[in-house]
Amino acid sequence: MNRINTLFETKKARVLSIYFTAGFPALEDTIPIMEAAQAGGADIIEIGVPYSDPVADGPTIQDSNMIALENGISLKKIFDQLKGFRAKIHIPVVMMGYLNPIIQYGIEAFCQKCKEVGVDGLILPDLPMQQYQDDYKELFEQYGLVNTFLISPQTSEKRIREIDENTSGFIYMVSSHSTTGAKTGISEEQIAYFERVKAMNLKNPRLIGFGISDAETFTTASNYSSGAIIGSAFIKTVKDSKNLSEDIQKYIQSVVN
């Protein structure tokens, strides 16, 4: 069974997924960040594949993408870095990115590499459902990759149920109709959205992302879902760090404890 499915079968609440950009802040920081995130208590690691036009992301993640690309990161380099990571990292690992670099790399070659190094799943925000069903679903399944779709407050119930039907890992609940970024607090409007989706009794677990940054927002999100995803706030921690391992562990523990 895929590590993602196993995780959600064994841990029903307060699942923390940590997103970071590969090759940031320095080119070879990818594995050290993963090791520190696991040691700190993260349940899932999302590796961001840098792209020159990350339209869904706010300034923090866009900036990390640019720096990583300037550092020389590429999909080939990421896979080189990930060789043998399963000797140390036992938690689920997901690759998140835009479709264009993956198509350029070659979809099947990409899936083969993911399986080879030990990646468990994919989050491709700009992959249309129909294209997934027609072109990629069988391929992803062949290589044991769980595909995660995103929903937002604007997503209709019909669409949410279609996504639930075509998901086998977890659903990424975007907390607001905006780009990524750490924001202060969670609004009543967002709570109403969380409650509405919770009441749908979907078959897949849900993780809430966008605007989750600390223990308070993590706990609030976890009251309405299986847990949450932290990206921008984690990337800020990494960017400002003088001691990556120490600061990452300290930050994650401040969120989950």
- Strands (DSSP E) contained in the chain are 15-21, 44-48, 93-96, 121-123, 146-148, 150-151, 171-174, 206-209, 227-230
Nearest to 95 by CA among 128, 121, 132: 121
Beta bridge partners of 148: 123
Question: How many beta carbons lie within 10 A of that of residue 85, not counting itself?
Answer: 18
Distances (CA, A) of 29 to 125, 212, 235: 24, 23, 12
Point out the catalytic residue in the list 29, 43, 46, 63.
46
> Is 57 in the active site?
yes
Nearest to 25 by CA among 234, 212, 229, 183: 234
> Is 214 in the active site?
no
- What backbone torsions phi and psi does residue 96 show, to the nearest 5 degrees? -120, 130
User: Distance between CA 15 and CA 27 in Å, rounded?
Assistant: 28
Point out the catalytic residue in the list 43, 57, 63, 120.
57
Nearest to 3 by CA among 78, 124, 85: 85
Are 33 and 244 within 8 A, CB to CB? yes
Encoded tokens for 220: 């609030």
Q: What are the catalytic residues? A: 46, 57
